[in-house]
Structure 1
Amino acid sequence: MNQKREMTSVDLVALTRELRDYEGAKVDKAYLYGDDLVRLKMRDFDEGRVELLLEVGDTKRAHVAAPEHVPDAPGRPPNFAKMLRNRLSGADLADVRQYGFDRIVEFEFRREDQDTTIVVELFGDGNVAVLDQNGTVVDCLDTVRLQSRTVAPGSQYGFPQARLNPLEVDYEEFAAQMEQSDTDLVRTVATQLNFGGLYGEELCTRAGVEKTKDIADAGDDEFEAIYHAMTSMFDRLKSGDVDPRVYYEPSEDDDGSETRVDVTPLPLEEHAELESEAFDSFNAALDDYFTNLGGTEEEEGSAANAGKPDFQAEIEKNERIIAQQEGAIEDFEREAEAEREKAEALYGNYDLVDDFLTTVREARDAGYSWAEVEETLEDAKESGMDEAQPFEGVDEQNGRVRVRLGDHSIWLEPESGVEKNADRLYTEAKRIEEKKEGALEAIENTREELEAAKKRKAEWSEEPASDEAEEDAEDEDIDWLSRSSVPVRKPERWYDRFRWFRTSDGFLVIGGRNADQNEEIVKKYMDNYDRFFHAQAHGGPVTVLKTSAPSEPAQDIDVPRQSLEEAAQFAVSYSSVWKDGRGAGDAYMVMPEQVSKTAESGEYLSKGGFTIRGEREYFRDVAVGCAVGITCEPETRVVGGPPSVITEQAELAVELEPGRYAQGDAAKRVYRKFREAFADTSFVRKVASPDQIQLFMPPGGSRIKD
Structure 2
Amino acid sequence: MFSTFDLKEISKELSDLERMRVDKIYQLGNEIRIKFFGRGREDLVIKPPLAVFVTSYPKPAPKNPTWFAMLLRKHLKAMWLFKIEQYDFDRILMFSFGFYEENNPVVKFVLIVEMFRDGNILLANQDNVIVGILSREYMKDRTLAPKSVYEFPEKKKGFDLSIDEIIELSKEYEIVKGLATQLNIGGLYAEETCLLAGVDKSKIGISKEEAVKIKEALIQLENLKKDPMIIKKNEQVVDILPYDLKSYDSSEFEKVRYESLSKALDEVYGKAESEEILREEISTHQKKIQKFERMLKSQKDLFDSYIDERELYKILGDLTYEKYPIIEESIKVIEQAKKNYSLEEIKTKLAQNKLISDVDFKTGIITFNFDPPLPIELKKDVNENANLFYEKSKKMKRKIDGAKIAMDNTEAKLLSLKEEEEEFEVEKPKAIERKAREWYERFRWFTSSEGNIVLGGRDASSNEVIVKKYMEDSDIYFHADAYGAPHVIVKDGSKVTDITLNEAAIFAVSFSSLWKDGYGGGDAYWVKPDQVTKEAPSGEYLKKGAFAIKGKRNYIRSVSIKLTIGITSEGKIMCGPDVPIEKHTVKNIKIMPGKHKKESFAKRVAKILETDDIDAIVQALPPGGCDVRGK
Q: Is TM (by shorter chain) over 0.5?
A: no
**TM tier, shorter chain?**
0.3 to 0.5
Larger radius of gyration: 2
TM-score, L = length of structure 1: 0.37
Greater length-normalized contact order (CA 8 Å, ≥ 6 residues apart) = 2
TM-score, L = length of structure 2: 0.41
